[in-house]
Structure 1
């Protein structure tokens, strides 16, 4: 599975410091499970890194996800309130209403 990320989030994943990826609970992600591999790509580039999915947990919204997972696991460089605002700027209320997924991940050894 391949997914795009903004540079600032990609860099955190590639450094191994971002261990939780936040996604809207879209239908195409319903089969995502522990053991899967995700290849993240910086939007508009060929730069990638691979992660192994360790766990996928559903939450009713982004606030509950940040409280349940701990904001530092999502983005250690921003406060909880900053993260919530940033996530909601990317995903408007209509998308958040679908639910949120916390994808616990670990960088694979052979990532670029």
Structure 2
């Protein structure tokens, strides 16, 4: 039987979300359903990097779920799993400030993650 190594995706992340992940407080990452993420699946690894720095953290992908948009994602996943330090309305505004309407039209991905390492 042949075992395949987990795929590693490298993605940039804002400091505020990086800190929540590294503190094990953020369990679901939100992304637009871009073509380069269409194969992302459970058991893959994401290396998050704060853009312009050498700071990284690796997470295990536990699950990937597609949604039609950000509101449906927050309702389906529970806002506290996406960002426990912001209300649903604040999160929706923050996500939409990162991704304009034409990006949201591509769909949204909820990526359940688990921090690897200490």
1:1-112 matches, within 5 Å, as 1-109=9-117
Query: How many angstroms does 1:41 deviate by?
Result: 0.5
The structure having more radius of gyration, on CA atoms, is: 2
Which portions of structure 1, spanning 4 or more consecutive aligned residues, are displaced by more than 4 angstroms? none
Give a deviation string over 1:10-55, Cα, whole Å, max 9, x none.
Answer: 0001111100000000011000000000000111100000000000
SS at match of 2:86: coil
SS at match of 1:73: helix
Distance across 2 between alignment mates of 1:66 and 1:90: 15
TM-score norm. by structure 2 comes to 0.92
Count how many residue pairs are aligned between Structure 1 and Structure 2: 110
Unmatched 5+ stretches in structure 1: none
* RMSD over aligned Cα atoms: 0.7
